[in-house]
Amino acid sequence: MEKQHFLVVTYAAQGHVNPALNLCRRIARSAGSPRVTFSTSIFGHRRLFPKLADDEEVHDGLIFYVPFSDGYDDGFKMDVDDNNDYQNRIKTVGSKTLAAVLRSFEECGRPVTCLVYNMLLAWVGDLAREYGIRSAVYWIQPATVFAAYYHYFHGYDGFIASHRDDPLFTVNLPGLPQFKIRDLPSFIVNAKSDDIYAMAKRLFQDMFDVLDRQEAAGTTATVLVNTFDELEADALVAAGKLKLIPIGPMVPSSLLEGTKDDVLDLFKPDVKQYMEWLDSKPKKSVVYVSFGSLTVLKQRQAEEILRGLRATGRPYLWVVRKDNRAELEAGELKLGEEEEDGMVVEWCSQARVLSHPAVGCFVTHCGWNSTVEALACGMPTVAVPQWTDQATNAKLMEICGIGVRAEVDAEGAVEAAELRRCVETVMQEGERAEEMRRRAEMWKDKARVAVGEGGSSDRNLRAFVEEMASSS
């Protein structure tokens, strides 16, 4: 084990960085204390460590951080760069520069023995095979979404495409709950072929192509999944012969252990004293609102949210990223005016907020990181899914009985009255809300047991680490 070296390579977006870092910490603390290196693009590395003079290696006492170039060292600019060239460029440039990283490790006597790569970076799997390194995909979304993509790329694409215009059409995919078209990942429902949807779908297709090649070569493909047995037992075996290993929920250890934050953000936290503000509020009284690191709220949607929050008469803490906030305030939406029972921040420690006793409801886009953090905190949710896997995640929360999904209008916006209705459904007194809170606590216990010492996910991750050691 002393010679083991895990290299975890991830896409440079906050929702991808977080679970990758949580995985790195878990592996580094496993038996034998293997060496763990985290690697993302130079652009992401610079944002994680803005005070560095150059793109040098960093060590925080537990994890090493080494960047590679994906050809977009100043970041991919959706309104400037060519979406169609993106996939080829990151593969071509990334393969060359990450290969140089692998060679440098070899030359200095610390060769990589296992390469874990993000689901959008399928070319890393090919690179691992070229260098004879054991590898595993890290699927940071639920197993249900993985299985939905699997079936789409293995015979169900035509069926889904033929019904994509009917959001309420019922879909039955092998091994999965009954869904409607609107519950499926947007990348396989949206028909556009010249935008980010098409680009993302190609990246997922690449990943399944790599896994299929491994299977065809007689090698069992390993997929680490950010979920746990008790949550998705059926979905974990719904993707053919692929070996899905549940190792989640991959949430910050600070959330589980009540310790100091161990989160690295691509965004600068707000300086406002939001935790002190929460301290002043009654137990389970605050509505927390955040749509994550990518969603950009349009003017009307932000106005409806603000009206809906005010209509509840409850205190609220609302995250509106700095870039989005500037755009909204240019349109005369006054988010800077503090209210006695409302606070708007540009970024915050979500784990600390969801763990705070004053928070009683989470209005969320239902990104999977936010969803599993809500699960681990026993927090009932109001889901307002936007795109990608979020609609499926929202459906899973409904199935678990810990959330409600807000209905949107023809423009895709949730109106103030609907938001108020959903918040009251979750937070009011009454049998339904009480049952939702009870189930939220039940899932909190299950999630924490899974990742606790000796839990199902803990055992799975330890077994994976040991297997990589024995096969190297």
Active site residue ranges: 16
Task: Tell me the CA end-to-end span of the chain in Å, nearest whole number.
Answer: 10
357, 359, 365: which is closest to 382 by C-alpha? 365
DSSP 8-class letter at 7: E
| Residue type at 348 in one-letter notation | C
* Distance from C-alpha of 296 to C-alpha of 302, rounded to nearest angstrom: 10
What are the b/e assignments for 415-452, b being 16+ CB within 10 Å? bbebbbbbbbbbbeeeeebeebbebbeebbebbbbbbe
| Residue type at 231 in one-letter notation | L
Q: Cβ distance 278 to 286 under 8 Å?
A: yes
| Residue type at 80 in one-letter notation | V
C-beta contacts of 84-88 below 8 A and 24+ residues apart: 84/194, 84/199, 86/199, 87/199, 87/202, 87/203, 87/206
191, 115, 197: which is closest to 468 by C-alpha? 115
* Distance from C-alpha of 189 to C-alpha of 160, rounded to nearest angstrom: 7
Which residue has 């096969």 as its token pair? 471
Residue 289 pairs with which residues in a beta bridge? Answer: 318, 363
Q: Cβ distance 161 to 153 under 8 Å?
A: no
Which residue has 């459906």 as its token pair? 395
Distance of CA 138 to the CA centre of its chain: 11
Concatenated DSSP letters of 192-242: -SSSHHHHHHHHHHHHHHHHHHHHHTT---EEEESS-HHHHTTGGG-STT-
Which residue has 């409600």 as its token pair? 404
